[in-house]
Amino acid sequence: MKVKLILVLTLLFVLSGYAFGYASEDITSNGSENVITLEQAKELARKNGRNLKKYEINTEKARYQLYQIDEEYGDAEDEYDYLVYRINSLSEEYSELRSKLAELNEGDTSGDISVEDIEKRMDEIQKERDSLWDRIDQQADVVESLSDQKENAENQYEDAVVEEENFEKQLDYIVEELYTTILKQEKSLNSLSKEYEIKQVLLEMEKTKLEIGRSTQYRVGELSAELATVSNRIEELQDSINASKGKLNDIMGRDYDAELTLTPFEVPDSNEIPDVGTLLSRASQEYYQMPQLEREIEQKKEDLDDVDEDTYQDELLELEIEELKLQLEEEKYKVIEAVKSLVAGFEAKQKNYQLSLANYEKAKKNYEWDQKRFEMGRISKMELLQSELNLLNSESEKIAAEYALYLARRLLELAEDGILL
């Protein structure tokens, strides 16, 4: 019976080794274009991401709208300058004619123009000047209107540029979050595969024991159910990995189902907790929604100075100003709340990482000791496999905590740029 059990265990280990070898061979056979680093993933997302392209298009539209308004404003100013030049020319001519008329009235007959001609021309000039003054007034209104439109277009273009830059930074974070999620899932899948292997061996051992009457069908059924549960978890996790890879492929502009192998990366050791006051000051300065609201408030105040006090428009504008001021205060509170929450989250994830690191080191030492104990015949192969599983689980937890801390740091960096996610 012992011989039979040994054969079963040997077969299982051979099969599991073959399965892992096949998977490794499959990964190696992929082209290098399917092996991507984090920086390559971010670069591809910036280059091919549809959402970023929408922001780029919006910026270009705002740019050309500004060009168009600027050109119209320049033409309107030229027209206004021409009208002013024309009326100045007519005024000079009118002054010369008036001097000439005075000379004629004093008896100077040396000229070749009559009083009637001068008076007629002066009357024509006066009428043209009156018409020009009306046109100048109208053109001044056009220039002022286009000046306001130009200012709005400049603000819209500046806002579009900031929004595009901010989304590009957000896109980097989106890629980092998805990238680390996949790496964590793959690490968990590795642990689940080892757990499946152990439970499979346990089940075969229990079946062997059942044959010699040292176990029950109920116990075999229990282990079969546990094995099926782990199998389902593996399948669900693999589906989740495939979905995450598909999403990342799509963001990078690749085919959804394209083969994708992600390269693990070293997380920087910069885990110093930032000063809340300094971070809050930087976030408030860079948080572009507040300058927008302040600009709107100032525009409303200017509009208020121009309205007729006998209408209800001034009351409406005052209410709109109060509304914008309240919104500005809400945005300030939002920044304060977000920054404090991000710092607290970073501190919590830092502590969690330190704990997971200690647990990993402990599991690693236990596994190394169990390997020696196994070689000495002090523990069974199953106990060694369980120790290896404990090590894999603690490693998965360490990596998950490490990536969580990395993302928490990245959120703080985004907050410094005025981007709150």
Contact 194, 156 (CB under 8 A): no
Tokens of 96: 């010369």
* Cβ neighbours of residue 364 closer than 8 Å, sequence gap 6 or more: 391, 394
Question: Token pair of 249, please?
Answer: 């492929």
Residue 316 pLDDT class (50, 70, 90 cuts): confident
Looking at residue 362, its pLDDT comes to 96
Range of the domain at 379: 274-296+322-421
417 domain-assigned? yes
Is 364 within a domain?
Answer: yes
Contact between 295 and 155 under an 8 Å Cβ cutoff? The reply is yes
Query: Average pLDDT over the chain, rounded to whole?
Result: 86
- Mean pLDDT on 204-224: 91
For residue 111, pLDDT beyond 70: no
Q: What is the pLDDT of residue 30?
A: 43
Contact (Cβ atoms closer than 8 angstroms) between residue 384 and residue 329: no
Total domains in the fold of the chain: 1
Mean pLDDT of 127-156: 92
Residue 346 belongs to some domain of the structure? yes
Q: CB of 339 within 8 A of CB of 276?
A: yes
In a domain, residue 382? The reply is yes
With beta carbons less than 8 A apart as the criterion, state whether 421 and 334 touch: no
Residue 106 main-chain phi, psi, to 5 deg: -85, 0
Q: For residue 376, is it within any domain?
A: yes
Q: Picking from 56-65, 322-331, 346-355, which range would have the lowest pLDDT averaged per residue?
A: 322-331
317 within a domain of the structure (yes/no): no
Model confidence pLDDT, tens digit, residues 260-270: 999 999 888 76
Q: Is 262 among the domain residues?
A: no
Each residue of 76-109: pLDDT tens digit? Answer: 999 999 999 999 999 999 998 888 888 777 766 6
The reply to whether 330 falls in a domain is yes
Q: For position 27, what pLDDT does the model report?
A: 34
Determine the pLDDT at residue 253. 92
Q: By the 8 A CB rule, do 349 and 154 touch? A: no
